[in-house]
């Protein structure tokens, strides 16, 4: 698996987790196989399909909070 293929898989999984079909690779601030501490203006979540943690801008997070 090439790096480009892995990044596309991460982006595809992040679209599902963050409920944002318009999420782009450049919207992803950081991804890692270990846990991520989100910086100011970011939110982090686990993306199960490739099995990585992803941090994106808060504006890109479309999940419903209750």
User: Buried b vs exposed e over 5-27: b needs ≥16 C-beta within 10 Å?
Assistant: eeeebbbebbbebbebeebeeeb
Average pLDDT over residues 59-65: 87
pLDDT value, residue 1: 80
Q: Taking the domains of the chain in order of start, what are their residue ranges? A: 3-60
pLDDT of 8 over the 60 cut: yes
pTM of the model: 0.88
Average pLDDT over residues 6-25: 95
pLDDT tens string 20-58: 999 999 999 999 999 999 999 999 999 998 999 999 999
């Amino acid at each position: 698996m090439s790096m480009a293929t892995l990044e596309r898989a991460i982006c595809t999984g992040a679209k599902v987790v963050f409920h944002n079909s318009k999420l782009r690779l450049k919207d992803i601030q950081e991804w890692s196989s270990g846990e991520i501490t989100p910086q100011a203006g970011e939110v982090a979540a686990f993306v199960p399909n490739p099995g990585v943690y992803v941090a994106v801008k808060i504006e890109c997070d479309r999940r419903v909070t209750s």
